[in-house]
Amino acid sequence: MKINRILSIVLFLMCQISFGQTSTGKLLHGKIRVDSAYISGINILNLVNEKTAATNSDGEFFILAKANY
């Protein structure tokens, strides 16, 4: 019985560690402000994971970001 409890705890901790390392990133929200009236369609590039996004008519964008370690 004691071995089953220890094995269960070790298995639980290993699952926590493995899932903790697979973070895909967070969705970053931003807004571009310029003097020009045409701010929709501006391309944003995340150099770390090479993801791109484009601004909407208000200059807002969403892009997947991940910390660079």
Cα 25 to Cα 10, 11, 30, 32, 58, distances in angstroms: 27, 25, 15, 22, 25
Tens digits of per-residue pLDDT, 4-30? Answer: 788 888 777 776 666 655 556 788 899
Would you state the pLDDT for residue 61?
Answer: 92
59 — pLDDT class (breaks 50, 70, 90)? confident
Give pTM, 2 decimals: 0.57
53 — pLDDT class (breaks 50, 70, 90)? very high
